[in-house]
Amino acid sequence: MAPTNLKNVDPIFMEAIENLPDGISIFDANGVPILHNHVSEARFPHLYEAFAQGARTYNEALEYNVRKTAPDLSEEELAQQVEKYSAFTENGETYESRTPDGRIVQVTYRPMSDGRKVAISVDVTELRQRERELKKAQAVAIAASNAKSAFLANMSHEIRTPLNGILGMAQVLEMGELSSEQREQVQTILDSGRNLMALLNDVLDLSKIEAGKIAIVKADTDLVHTLRRLHRLWKPKAEEAGLEFYLSLDAELPQVLNFDAVRVRQCVSNLISNAIKFTKQGRVEVFVTAKRMTDGQHLVRVRVTDSGIGMDEETTARLFRPFTQADNSTSRKYGGTGLGLSITRSLAELMGGEASVRSEVGRGSEFNFSFLAAEAAPLHRVVNEGTAVTEDEVRERLKSQNLRLLLVDDHPINRQVASLFLRPYNMRIVEATNGKEALAALERETFDMVLLDVHMPVMDGTETIRHIRASHHGWRNVPVVALTADAMTGDRERYLGMGMDGYLSKPITERDLVAEINRLHSMSLAELAEHRGDYQAANENKAA
């Protein structure tokens, strides 16, 4: 230690700062060191060497220090470095510097009385090394996650394409004249295909949840209608199993709320399916309530009870883990992968709620699922039943339209499935195998709508829609539906943002295809343009 202007420094104080692992220096109003410990001098030897040689100000010593540590700098670069470090000293901003032995130190200047300053340097070499290791590990994890997502997206696409042929042709057969035995056989194909589809969706959902890429999309929705539709959907399955199936809605349950209807239906369906699967006799009941919270939202609770086999505490404790079921024999006896409940709990938490279970062996189970829903906009609180159109009316109306459709898909089975679905509706179907053929067809004749695959050779769907929307011909505003095997989170919004008007993921169903064609054909050109513009603007904002 080299005190210069302090005559009566307490020896105990001086001994204490000498034994600190950090560098400490005190400078006078001109920036000349009054005292410093050996740690500080060892970390900045050229700075103190300058003072020893007669430097009268901090900037003089700083210039000497920069020349010694970076001798190749030009005069302009030297001046910039001196100015930068001088500014750190003046405003007390913390900065980092490398010592002659390669260590990284963090330096901070703080003002004292009479213009003096105290400087403290802390060695952060190990901390920065750990940060680099963590960033490297994070990069590796992100790369692995992206590789996994890319693999799953590719596998999903490859599985959905043949599955579209299997389920599509089975649906076509189901619509024909069949004997009771043949109809049962076709139904077995459909059930098996749908189970495979459900498994594929569950694996994708689990992957999205793990990657934090699953989106909760809220919209004003008729909650009561949603629940009653689920009841009608599952009632035949329950009756087939010989069970009573009830839906009870609290009298004060709001009719319309703002929530993600798709994810709520998925979660409730998981619980109902689970209850029916594990109940041999008796009943399954769904009871729904809603409690208004202080922030104006509603906490909706769905309770699903059954009189099934029940579970012990050990089983219920692990029930919501992925790929976990009651015991090793459960999947063999009842089927399934154990993903449904894990996904339900994750989705519930993403929606501000939770999922839990209470059960007793031989006495049945009670599953509880909750989620937060906001108030619906005032416009949506009135439900106009008078404007409802039945599915049969939609089908009859489409038959009378004599629509001309351009079907673009490189896979012949996909084209065959869609054509067979639409044959009963008096639609004229023109087929193309890629985007280049599609554009040529649009040049030749007029179409009411385009059904466009995304992944095709020669010219894919994304390039095709760009050509369509950029065209100066009348067909630039033709309604376009994306028929694609891409079904990952964000795919729908991405394609709508490109200028598509509709989106259906494969395997497609006849009902969904007909409903989407009817929806778009019922919209005016102005409505389509506005709808298209909203998605394109959202896509641009997201990219920005």
Question: Could you give the CA distance from residue 435 to residue 406 in angstroms, rounded to a whole number?
Answer: 11
Burial class (CB in 10 A: 0-12, 13-18, 19+), 402: exposed
- Terminal CA-CA length for the chain: 56
* The pTM of the whole model exceeds 0.85: no
Question: Could you give the CA distance from residue 381 to residue 220 in angstroms, rounded to a whole number?
Answer: 9
Question: Could you give the CA distance from residue 353 to residue 68 in angstroms, rounded to a whole number?
Answer: 63
CATH of 386-543, one of 3.30.428.10, 3.40.50.880, 3.40.50.2300, 1.10.10.10: 3.40.50.2300
Q: What are phi and psi of 374, to 5 degrees?
A: -85, 170
54: left (phi over 0), alpha (psi -120 to 50) or beta: left
Residue spans in the chain of domains classed CATH 3.30.565.10: 219-385
Residue spans in the chain of domains classed CATH 1.10.287.130: 137-211
Predicted pLDDT of residue 2: 46
Token readout for 427 is 């639609």
Predicted pLDDT of residue 125: 94
Residue spans in the chain of domains classed CATH 3.40.50.2300: 386-543
Predicted pLDDT of residue 128: 93
Question: Could you give the CA distance from residue 89 to residue 411 in angstroms, rounded to a whole number?
Answer: 70
Q: Are 67 and 47 in contact (CB under 8 A)?
A: no
Distances (CA, A) of 50 to 55, 61, 73, 248, 511: 6, 5, 19, 86, 85
11-123 is classed in which CATH architecture?
2-Layer Sandwich (3.30)
Token readout for 502 is 């509709």
Burial class (CB in 10 A: 0-12, 13-18, 19+), 371: buried
Indicate the residue type of 344: T
Burial class (CB in 10 A: 0-12, 13-18, 19+), 290: buried
Residue spans in the chain of domains classed CATH 3.30.450: 11-123
Which of helix, strand or coil describes residue 457?
coil
Element (H, E) at 314: helix 313-318
Token readout for 275 is 């209850």
Predicted pLDDT of residue 353: 95
Question: Could you give the CA distance from residue 261 to residue 454 in angstroms, rounded to a whole number?
Answer: 27
Predicted pLDDT of residue 385: 38
Residue stretches of the chain with pLDDT short of 70: 1-8, 211, 213, 322-338, 378-390, 487-489, 534-544
The count of C-alpha atoms lying within 13 angstroms of the C-alpha of 286, restricted to the half-sphere facing its C-beta, is 30
Question: Could you give the CA distance from residue 345 to residue 365 in angstroms, rounded to a whole number?
Answer: 16
- Range 219-385 has CATH code 3.30.565.10: yes
137-211 is classed in which CATH architecture?
Orthogonal Bundle (1.10)
52: nearest Cα among 70, 66, 64: 64
